[in-house]
Amino acid sequence: MKRVTILFLFLLLAISCDKQDTEFPSGFYAPTIHGYIVTDESGNEIKVVGVDDTKVSDQELNDFHVHLLLYPNPCSEFIYMEMGTSGLMKKIWIVPAEPSNNLRSFMTANFFAVCGYPVITMETNADNVWFDLSKFDFNLFRVYVSINGILLWNNIVKQSN
């Protein structure tokens, strides 16, 4: 009976990983994170842990004063996101991620990401939003934001409660 249950769970996982979200940019599933920006509760950058592999601004978006700021990072439940003052439509995806071997040496938590499919998706023209990450078991996420066809990304670490 135990083998049947394990086989069933494995098949269920395999089937669920075949689902494609057509809105999600191709080639960005199950990202490997090499570092993250530590920020305080006000969004002030404190330091970079590991190698910064984020893209929080783009030359083409400078006229719109667009940037991608996540705070606090690491977070325990809520993460706040500032994206400038553009008022432009934004597509947002938050995806579980895996740490690189180098980043693992800086961290103490165990990591496990399933398929890398988005756990949160939304479209908004708001310039500031927040997300509740407390319901997720994952400890590392990548946030993708598409603005005017330009893709930005940043990394989040969620502390265990």
Q: pLDDT tens digits for 96-113?
A: 888 888 777 766 554 444
CA-CA-CA-CA torsion sign (117, 119, 124, 126):
negative
Instruction: Compute the distance between CA of residue 51 and CA of residue 62 in angstroms, rounded to an integer.
Output: 24
Residue 25 pLDDT greater than 70, yes or no: no
In CATH terms, is domain 53-161 a member of 2.60.40? Answer: yes
In terms of Cβ atoms closer than 10 Å to its own Cβ (0-12, 13-18, 19+), residue 147 is buried
Predicted confidence at residue 154, as pLDDT, reads 93
The CA radius of gyration of the chain, in Å to the nearest whole number, is: 17
* Residue 63 binned pLDDT confidence (cut-offs 50, 70, 90): confident
Predicted confidence at residue 100, as pLDDT, reads 85
Q: Show the tokens assigned to 95.
A: 């995806």
Q: Supply the mean pLDDT for the chain.
A: 77
Residue 12 pLDDT greater than 50, yes or no: no
Residue 61 pLDDT greater than 50, yes or no: yes
Predicted confidence at residue 28, as pLDDT, reads 58
* Residue 128 binned pLDDT confidence (cut-offs 50, 70, 90): very high
Is this structure's pTM higher than 0.85? no
Most confident of 10-14, 40-44, 60-64: 40-44
Which of the pair, 119 or 1, is modelled with greater confidence?
119
Residue 130 pLDDT greater than 90, yes or no: yes
**For the chain, which residues make up each domain, given as ranges?**
53-161
* Residue 156 binned pLDDT confidence (cut-offs 50, 70, 90): very high
